[in-house]
Amino acid sequence: MSHDLKLFHGYTACSRVTLTALETVGVPYEDRIIIFEKGEHKSPDYLKVNPAGKVPCLMVDGEPLTENGAILRWLHAEYPDAGLFPQAKDNWDRAQQLSVLLWISAGWHPYVRAVKMPMMWTTGDVEPVRERGKELFSGVLDQLDAELADRRWWFGDEWSIVDTYFWWAYINSEFGGFDLAPWKNIARHRADNEALAQLQRALAREQAAYEARKAQMA
């Protein structure tokens, strides 16, 4: 069944994961970038779309769906042949796929935010928040690096959208001054992600949307 899709996303935001998923699926979709530095995510118009004032938000036939994890699972269910996740053999596999999404989004996405945008977590001195974010995120990277020691991608030989979700997280920590050099398997995983055509298309689309919207707002 075809759907009318429109993604609200942000520049360098975690909506990149959903954008990459849409590029992987390959169906037509509209996109609308939200300019954070202009406060568009808290504007009355956007709050009508997503009252939480966050991206991503995928409009599906006029109805909003928020949270990366939910959007990715919905896309996989609608377009099962696109390869967003491995084909699950049973309910256990499906639960494992959901588990890793929740681990990222609820478990430690907030650490990345502490590193990249510590001002979101404190009205005081940001440096102790950033440092604590780095400590906590280091533990996550130790775990991820160990998992990637004997396999190319999170689920094995095949890429899944979970790999791009990890990629988005560690790249964003780097924007906050985090040094990724100690984690060798992550460096390899990063290069493998950045070679993906669907990720490159998503980044190009995000960049074009950002520049066009900024020009419009100038």
Instruction: Assess contact for 22 and 7: CB atoms under 8 A.
Output: yes
By rule CB under 6 A, what count of residues binds ligand GSH? 12
Integer Cα distance of 218 and 211 in angstroms = 11
Instruction: Assess contact for 172 and 16: CB atoms under 8 A.
Output: no
Element containing residue 27 per DSSP (H, E): none
- Pick the binder of ligand GSH from 19, 31, 54, 118 (CB under 6 A): 54
Is 64 a residue that touches ligand GSH (CB under 6 A)?
no
87 token code pair? 């084909």
Each residue 101-140 as x (binds ligand GSH by CB under 6 A) or -, in order, gives ----x---x-------------------------------
- Pick the binder of ligand GSH from 9, 41, 130, 205 (CB under 6 A): 41
Is 55 a residue that touches ligand GSH (CB under 6 A)?
yes
Is 14 a residue that touches ligand GSH (CB under 6 A)?
yes
Is 161 a residue that touches ligand GSH (CB under 6 A)?
no
Nearest to 193 by CA among 169, 176, 173, 209: 169
- Give helix 68-78 / helix 15-25 axis angle, nearest 10°: 10
φ/ψ of 181, rounded to 5, equals -55, -35
Integer Cα distance of 59 and 141 in angstroms = 33
Contact region with ligand GSH (CB under 6 A), list: 6-14, 91-99, 148-156, 177-185? 6-14
CA atoms within 13 A on the CB side of 167: 27
Cβ nearer to ligand GSH, comparing 103 with 152: 103
Contact region with ligand GSH (CB under 6 A), list: 21-29, 49-57, 134-142, 147-155? 49-57
Instruction: Assess contact for 169 and 115: CB atoms under 8 A.
Output: no
Is 67 a residue that touches ligand GSH (CB under 6 A)?
yes
- Binding residues for ligand GSH, rule: CB under 6 A, are 10, 13-14, 41, 53-56, 67-68, 105, 109
